[in-house]
């Protein structure tokens, strides 16, 4: 009945399979994927198909899915064309997505059969914006990037998707007194840029960051570094070995 979280897989299929092997996911366990499955890394579709095999893997939306899914739908429908040379004035959403590492996603998505592309799109449109869970008596909020425009009394459905998938916390600060927020999006290699100095908190690049009721599990798989997972029951950490 363990509950795990992993984030920012970014097409790193081998690293994801290694994490699945390490956590030995049982049918009674749950694994939350906190967004950014696609882009940058080489095999995002293989990651999706593996996730789709497991009903107990629950995906959340990342900014890369938000940027990509509309373009993927239009590419699939033949309403958008990309041959490797975008004109910047032609389609701004595609241009922005390409700027964020879309090439391997487009290549592997368009190489699929039309049926498989439909399956991928349906799966992506089911991704959730956030999750609230209790594990072992402790309350958690799971989200991709942060809680933009945070107020302690603001209900989670009142946050916009942009606030949830793009806006970073001050990593030296705290959201809630009584809930721990688990998130990704900002590789721990870059955390020092998003912390006020003198926080008294320790950042180890490439390792999970434990702040004040705030845990960042993006350890830089998108840049070829570690894919990390955490078990929320006891905060045990897992790191890819490949």
Q: From 28, 26, 33, 38, select the one nearest 6 (Cα to Cα).
A: 33
Sheet architecture: strand order including 131-135? 131-135, 138-142, 180-183, 214-216, 209-210
Distance CA 127, CA 119 (A): 13
Rg (C-alpha) for the chain, rounded Å, is: 18
Minimum CB separation from Mn ion for residue 152, in Å? Answer: 24
Give 184 or 211: the residue with its C-beta nearer to Mn ion.
184
Could you tell me the two tokens for 206? Answer: 């490439």
Minimum CB separation from Mn ion for residue 172, in Å? Answer: 20
Stretch that binds Mn ion, among 37-45, 88-96, 185-193, 199-207 (CB under 5 A): 185-193
Minimum CB separation from Mn ion for residue 207, in Å? Answer: 18
Minimum CB separation from Mn ion for residue 111, in Å? Answer: 24
Contacts to Mn ion from residues 11-70, by CB under 5 A = 36, 62-63
Give 63 or 108: the residue with its C-beta nearer to Mn ion.
63
The count of chain residues that interact with Mn ion, using the rule CB under 5 A, is 4
- Scored b (16 or more CB within 10 A) or e, 132-157 reads ebebeeeebbbbbbbbeebeeeeeee
Contacts to Mn ion from residues 73-112, by CB under 5 A = none
**Do residues 179 and 139 touch, judged by C-beta distance below 8 A?**
yes
Give 36 or 167: the residue with its C-beta nearer to Mn ion.
36
DSSP, res 60: B
Distance CA 167, CA 159 (A): 11
Q: Any contact of residue 185 with Mn ion (CB under 5 A)?
A: yes
CA angle 131, 132, 133 (to 5 degrees): 115
Nearest residue to Mn ion, scored by beta-carbon proximity? 185
Minimum CB separation from Mn ion for residue 222, in Å? Answer: 8
Contacts to Mn ion from residues 133-172, by CB under 5 A = none
Stretch that binds Mn ion, among 100-108, 135-143, 149-157, 177-185 (CB under 5 A): 177-185
Residues that bind Mn ion (CB under 5 A): 36, 62-63, 185
């Amino acid at each position: 009945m363990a509950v795990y979280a992993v984030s920012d897989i970014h097409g790193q299929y081998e690293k994801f399979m290694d994490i699945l092997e390490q956590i030995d996911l049982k049918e009674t366990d749950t694994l939350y994927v906190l967004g950014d499955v696609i882009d940058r890394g080489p095999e995002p579709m293989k990651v999706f198909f593996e996730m789709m095999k497991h009903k107990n893997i629950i995906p959340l939306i990342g900014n890369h899915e938000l940027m990509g899914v509309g373009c993927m739908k239009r590419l699939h429908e033949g309403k958008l064309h990309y041959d490797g040379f975008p004109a910047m004035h032609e389609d701004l959403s595609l241009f922005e997505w390409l700027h964020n590492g879309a090439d391997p996603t487009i290549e592997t998505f368009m190489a699929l059969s039309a049926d498989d592309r439909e399956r991928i799109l349906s799966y992506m449109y089911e991704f959730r914006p956030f999750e609230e869970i209790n594990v072992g008596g402790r309350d958690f909020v799971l989200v991709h990037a942060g809680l933009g425009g945070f107020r302690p009394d603001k209900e989670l459905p009142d946050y916009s998707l942009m606030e949830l998938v793009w806006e970073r916390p001050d990593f030296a600060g705290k959201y809630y007194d009584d809930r721990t927020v688990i998130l990704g999006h900002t590789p721990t290699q870059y955390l020092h840029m998003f912390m006020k100095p003198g926080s008294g908190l320790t950042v180890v690049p490439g390792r999970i960051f434990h702040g004040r009721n705030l845990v960042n599990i993006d350890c830089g798989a998108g840049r070829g570094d570690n894919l990390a997972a955490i078990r929320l029951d006891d905060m045990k950490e897992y790191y890819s070995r490949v």
